[in-house]
Amino acid sequence: MKPVWTLADLHSSCIFPSRVKRLSSALTRQLPESGTILDIGTGDGSILALCCQLKPGLTPSAVDIAPRLHCSVPVTAYDGRTLPYGDESFDVVMMVDMLHHSENPARVIREACRVSRGVVIIKDHCCQTAWDWLTLSAMDIAGNLHHGIPLPLWYWAPEDWETARPAGWHLDNQEKAPKIYPWWLAWIFGRSLHIITVWHKDL
């Protein structure tokens, strides 16, 4: 276990704070100035909280299968399958690095689209080579094992996203998530492993 905890310490002290700040900045550019937003799999809520600080007109809600005792936003427990909200309950639904922890990611996307009035934003990983898989697996273990988060260690390739498209929705934009890590870590943990995908409801 020692190598895991050594990675966890590195992640907590060197990676996590920068990741929160840089990801929040990138995600905020995709968010409206005001409205309701649901964060699925919010973790400690730090990214959602910072997004709402950057855009104070947003009203946050969050769900997680294992809500943490100390969370930056109010969080509701859910079963990981069916969201406890009615259709079109939120202006925007967001997921940040949680889809690859799901047993059925296509179902999670369908549920996100169901409760959204028109926009779903997903930040997740992109895996194209064995080296990508090894890097992402190490990051997952370091960042999540000590929280008891499920680690199936699967990651989608670029073509997998279109196959998960729910009826009545289209993948509007997919781009590399910019500058998540400091430069001295980016060449290992950055590369093209991180993407932000934006889905819109068909008009």
Q: Which two tokens stand for residue 90?
A: 């939120």
Query: For residue 8, is pLDDT > 60?
Result: no
Range of lowest pLDDT (17-31, 39-53, 103-117) = 17-31
Overall average pLDDT of the 40-48 stretch:
94
Query: For residue 163, is pLDDT > 90?
Result: no
- Whether the CB-CB separation of 139 and 151 falls below 8 Å is answered with no
Query: For residue 141, is pLDDT > 50?
Result: yes
The CATH number that domain 2-201 falls under is 3.40.50.150
DSSP 8-state symbol, 146: G
Which is more confident, 188 or 63?
63
Residue 2 confidence (pLDDT):
44
Query: For residue 9, is pLDDT > 60?
Result: no
What is the chain's mean pLDDT, rounded? 84
How many angstroms separate the CA atoms of 155 and 148, rounded?
19
Tens-digit pLDDT profile for residues 71-100: 989 899 999 999 999 999 999 999 999 998
At residue 58, what is the residue type?
A: L
Domain chopping of the chain, boundaries: 2-201
Which residues, 6 or more positions from 6, have their beta carbon under 8 angstroms from its beta carbon?
none
Strands in 194-201's sheet, in edge-to-edge order, are: 76-77, 57-64, 34-40, 90-96, 116-125, 194-201, 169-176
How many angstroms separate the CA atoms of 92 and 60, rounded?
10
How many angstroms separate the CA atoms of 55 and 43, rounded?
20
Query: For residue 171, is pLDDT > 50?
Result: yes
